[in-house]
A and B are shown apart, each in its own frame.
Chain A
Amino acid sequence: DAKTTQPNSMESNEEEPVHLPCNHSTISGTDYIHWYRQLPSQGPEYVIHGLTSNVNNRMASLAIAEDRKSSTLILHRATLRDAAVYYCIITSGTYKYIFGTGTRLKVLA
């Protein structure tokens, strides 16, 4: 399974955009990129996923580098409720989702 590297923590001001980076230099051609987040004292929840093209949904956008060795989760306007740990996960066609330690996002009012 491809390994991911994320910063341990990031801070953002409320109502400003947030860009959360993830490096996955060993990603293979058929591997998907997933993002989940975990709010305090809750189980993780799905945010977004993609393969090659950039993806948008109601929660966030996913920007994937052309060589696919990195990606960025974009929260367009951070709110206090977005404070969470964000996990970048690479799936390789297996059934396993391997979570790393993620990025803890702090949103400042």
Chain B
Amino acid sequence: NAGVTQTPKFRVLKTGQSMTLLCAQDMNHEYMYWYRQDPGMGLRLIHYSVGEGTTAKGEVPDGYNVSRLKKQNFLLGLESAAPSQTSVYFCASRTGTLNGEQFFGPGTRLTVL
């Protein structure tokens, strides 16, 4: 099992460019999450999904969109990148049982110039 994988690992964008971060999990988990972590800070929830075809906003959703067309994939999109979106992005997944353990990916380090 690969667990949770994230693509790409690193990316540099110019202000105004767009990109999509891909998260994939092979554990058949129902729930998937996107977090961002700024330097010296904890994780903040951007969006999450409780199943294929459903998404919901977290704490800091502005400037991001997500899609969950397949159960195993959760995509995070930045339509027009801003320097404030420079961060490390983590994806996580967990089972549908209440309080199931979250499994995290290795992160994507994004820099917006």
Contact = CB atoms under 8 A, between A and B. Distances in A.
Interface residues of B, number: 25
Interface stretch (A21-29, A40-48, A71-79): A40-48
Contact of A45 (B31, B41, B104): B104
A29 to B, nearest CB: 14
B102 A46 contact: yes
A85 B101 CA distance: 18
B99 A102 contact: no
Interface string A94-109: 0111111110000000
A96 B98 contact: no
Nearest to B109: A41
The secondary-structure label for the interface of chain B is strand
A43 B48 contact: no
A98 B60 CA distance: 11
A84 B76 CA distance: 27
A43 B106 contact: yes
B44 A99 contact: yes
Contact of B90 (A32, A44, A96): A44
Given A95-B50, A97-B33, A99-B35, A44 B101 contact: no
A78 to B, nearest CB: 22
A68 to B, nearest CB: 15
Given A43-B104, A43-B107, A97-B33, A91 B42 contact: no
A43 B45 contact: no
B104 A95 contact: no
Nearest to A43: B104
